[in-house]
Amino acid sequence: MPCKIEFLVDIVVEPDESEFLAYCPALKGLHVGGATVKEATENANDAIACHLTSMMKHGDPIPKGVSVKRIELPDSRLRHTTSTAGARTADRRRRTRRVSTEVSLAFA
């Protein structure tokens, strides 16, 4: 069984002309688009997973703003779980949506 780590990360989704822009304040440079809010959020989840995987493989520290929700090690007795309520806010003036998303990474 591989090691599995689940992270909680905030994503901000904003309208951008005819599409939506999603970015992650905790991960500098992570900006993606999508035709819908759902597509932009899904694209952000994929980009976050790639970004965090790369950081971990290179030994870079996980930045502030990214929370570890759960760690599962190959021995099922070794498990760490934290509970964090998912935040969801909206700024009506800018129609900005901020959601907390879960990203799971598995390592062999």
Domains of the chain, earliest start first: 3-107 (3.30.160.250)
Cα Rg of the chain (Å, integer): 15
**Exposure string (b/e) for 60-87, b if CB count within 10 Å is 16 or more?**
eebeeebbebbebeeeeeeeeeeeeeee
In tens, the pLDDT along 46-66 reads: 999 889 888 888 888 888 888
Q: pLDDT digits over 90-103, tens only? A: 444 455 566 666 66
Residue 2 neighbours by CB under 8 Å, 6+ apart: 74, 106, 107, 108
User: Model confidence at 105, in pLDDT bands (50, 70, 90)?
Assistant: low
Q: State the pTM of this model.
A: 0.70
Q: 91 Cβ partners below 8 Å, 6+ apart?
A: none
